[in-house]
Chains A and B, each alone.
Chain A
C-alpha cells in the first residue's frame, strides 16, 4: 500500500547528541512536511519541501535542519537536542503546496526522548 513511513518509531538520544529522523513516502507527492507535536498539543510545522525547495518556518530553531535527497526521502536532523526537544515528530506529504484542497497524509510519527 502507498504510504508514509517513519523510522524509527521511538528514538532515545542523549542531551546534545545529534540525531536524525527519517521519513519515506511511496505516494510520489511533491511536498514533504515535518511537524513537532508535544504532549497534548497541536502539531507545529517546522518546515516543508516543495520538490527540492526548502521552506523554513520563521520560528523554527536553527537546531533543526532537514534534507531531502530525492522525492521519496526526507530527513530531520536535530544538531544538539535539548530536553525541550522531546516530542513526537510527524512527517506528512501532499501532492501540491498550493490550494486549499490539498490533504496531508501523515506517517505514524517518531517519538523522541532526550535523556
Chain B
C-alpha cells in the first residue's frame, strides 16, 4: 500500500494566485514527521516545510504553509502568491520509525509538478 499519496501529477496556477498541493499519508505510528521538498529542473531537493505529528498548529514558512488534518491523514502544502520561480516538482515525504534499523526512515510521494503561468 502507498504510504504517501500525491493525487495530482500536475497542477497549473496563475502567477500571484495561491495553490494547494495535496498529500495524504498512511501510518500506524503516533510519532512521525511530514515534510515538503521542492525539486527544480536542476535536480536539487530543497527542504520547504516540516510538520510534526504532535504539532497542534499548522506549520508556516514564508509563503508556504502546511494544512495538517491529522484525523484525515492529510498534509497539504499551500503556496501563496505564486511566483514563476515556484515552477518545479514538489514532493511530500513522511518520516516514521523504521523497524529494520531502529531509526527513522523517510518515504517520498510520487510528486506533483507545478506550473506557474505568467
* Contact in complex: A55, B100 (CB < 8 Å): yes
On chain A, the residues within 8 Å of B96 by CB distance are 100
Chain B 36-72 per-residue mask, 1 if CB under 8 angstroms from chain A, else 0: 0100001111110010110000000000000000000
- How many Å lie between the Cα of A83 and that of B43 in the bound state? 20
Near A by CB (< 8 A), chain B positions 94-113 give 95-96, 100-106, 108-111
On chain A, the residues within 8 Å of B95 by CB distance are 100-102
- Chain A: minimal CB distance from B32 (Å): 5
- How many Å lie between the Cα of A104 and that of B45 in the bound state? 9
* Contact in complex: A102, B45 (CB < 8 Å): no
Count of residues in A whose CB is under 8 Å from the partner chain: 25
> B91 at interface (Cβ–Cβ under 8 A)?
yes
- Known contacts: A100-B95, A108-B43, A108-B44. The answer to whether A58 contacts B100 by CB under 8 A is yes
On chain A, the residues within 8 Å of B109 by CB distance are 42
* B108 closest partner in A (C-beta): A42
> A32 at interface (Cβ–Cβ under 8 A)?
no
* Contact in complex: A103, B45 (CB < 8 Å): no
- How many Å lie between the Cα of A107 and that of B39 in the bound state? 11
* A33 closest partner in B (C-beta): B106
> A90 at interface (Cβ–Cβ under 8 A)?
yes
* A90 closest partner in B (C-beta): B45
- How many Å lie between the Cα of A102 and that of B94 in the bound state? 11
* Contact in complex: B108, A100 (CB < 8 Å): no
> A61 at interface (Cβ–Cβ under 8 A)?
no
Residues in chain B within 8 A of chain A (CB atoms): 4, 31-33, 35, 37, 42-47, 50, 52-53, 91, 95-96, 100-106, 108-111
Could you write out 5 A-B pairs with CB less than 8 Å apart? A42-B91, A42-B108, A100-B33, A103-B50, A108-B43
